[in-house]
Structure formats: C-alpha cells, structure tokens
Structure 1
C-alpha cells in the first residue's frame, strides 16, 4: 500500500456522531470541501454500505472500512477517523450482526479493485492489540498519522 493514500489532512479524532448516517454526512461534507470526492459520493457510500456492510470483527475492537465506487472519487485517499463513542455498524458478509465501531477508515479509489491490497494491509495491523492501543492513545492527528504510517507493508511513494 502506498503511503501517499493515507492523508494526514483527513485524520479526524474523537468525532461525536449519532449514527452511521450522521457519520456519512459529516465525512462526505469534509471530503467534498477538500476536493477528494464528487457530490454523488455520500449517497453512493450509504447505498453501498446498506448492500455490502463493512464492519470487520477484528480484535481487540471492530473497525469499519466503508468505500464507494470509483466514479465518485476525484483524488484517491484513505480518511482515518476515530470516534469518541462507538456507533453500530453491520458486519461485512453478515449484516445480521452489528458491532460497536470507533475506528473507521473511509477508502476512496479511482480503480475498482484498489481497495483489496489496502484491506489486506489494514487488517494485518488492525488485529494487533498493541497497534490498536497506539491508535487509541494518540492525542493529536499528527500522532495518529505517525502510528498509521508505521503499518507493516506500507511503502513510501
């Protein structure tokens, strides 16, 4: 995975949101303002999430990795967000199961299969309790970005 996909300016810490829709509204507004997405992104993201949920039951905490189709993306990105309080998110491949999620990685790719490699890299580290604790303890966006930049298999551009 290329480090340049991970956007320091998109790190968001301790957001308060009511639910998944509130999260989609907020992240989409910021991504649109910053020129990463098209106006169609928010609705596409929500529609894809309803059809293909993205919470992963990783331990020690479940994470969500929502994304949309490539036509809604202007510039490729990974937007890492840590919520102050978990919200309910349906499990990938098993939407009858709901997980409390605080760690969300919104993916935006201009190629349809771009998320596969990123998912593999993210999953490797997000299942490591020590790594997740570092993310939890990070107090500033810079600290959070530094932890994420140290993931295994991340490559400088």
Structure 2
C-alpha cells in the first residue's frame, strides 16, 4: 500500500473513533440536558414573576421616555395618566387562567370559548382606543408627530397595544 493510502486510512480510522467518542459523550450528556430544562412549579412561578417584573419595569421606562419626549403641559397630564393606566395589562395571573382546560373541551365548546376570549380582548382594545383618542386629542401637532414616531418604532406594526415582546399590552 502506498503511504498516501495508509495516511488516508489512518485519518479515516481516527475520524470514526473521534465521532464515536463524541456520540457517546452526547448520549451521556443528554439526560443531564433534559433534567436541566425540567423546572419545578416553584421555579416556573419564580421565573414568570421575574420576567413580569422586568417587563413591568421596561414598560414603565418606555412610558417615562415617551412622557419626557412629549413635554406635556400640566393640562395634558390627567389625560396622560388615564392613557397610561389603560395601556397597562390586567393582572397576568387572571389572564393566564382563561386558557386552562381549553384543550379538554369538545371542539364546538373550545371554539365558543376562543370566540368569547377574542371578544374580551377586543373589548380591552376598544377601551384602550378610547383612552388613546382622548389623550391624542389633547396633543399639539408637534406632540402628535413625536407620539406617532415613538409608538410605531420597533413595534412591527403593532403600536402601543397588543404586542408580545414589548409595548404596553394587556
């Protein structure tokens, strides 16, 4: 056999041994990786609470940034307070419970429940719209321009309302 062939054979043998060793190591680590992601109920609740606190802080900072950019007058402050109050989410624990047991319902009742939840969401959005319209009417043309720019930036077309990763949702 030529030396090149021998070297190729040795390289292939080394690669196959290395691959087998890596596969064995991955198999040994797989149960550990699965265990790492299985949280207890307390851990899930703690993580959820931490996330909700971070989101609440983010929304508060964002609202403050918008407030500062608008340079509101004292006469506009009550409408601002109403607007911000309407944009903040309802208690998240109550909303999450709406979907419990949905999968166990028969298809027609599940669809009916989903329609009811959709109507509730629409009612919340209409309430926000009313607060937005009241506040927006108090703004000067320059403030409206700032508001429109600030509330559409980075929102993927969702504005200040129902957005999954930011904004003031509920």
TM-score norm. by structure 1 comes to: 0.28
Q: Please identify which structure carries the higher helix content.
A: 2
Structure exhibiting the larger radius of gyration computed from Cα positions: 2
What's the TM-score once normalised by structure 2's chain length? 0.26
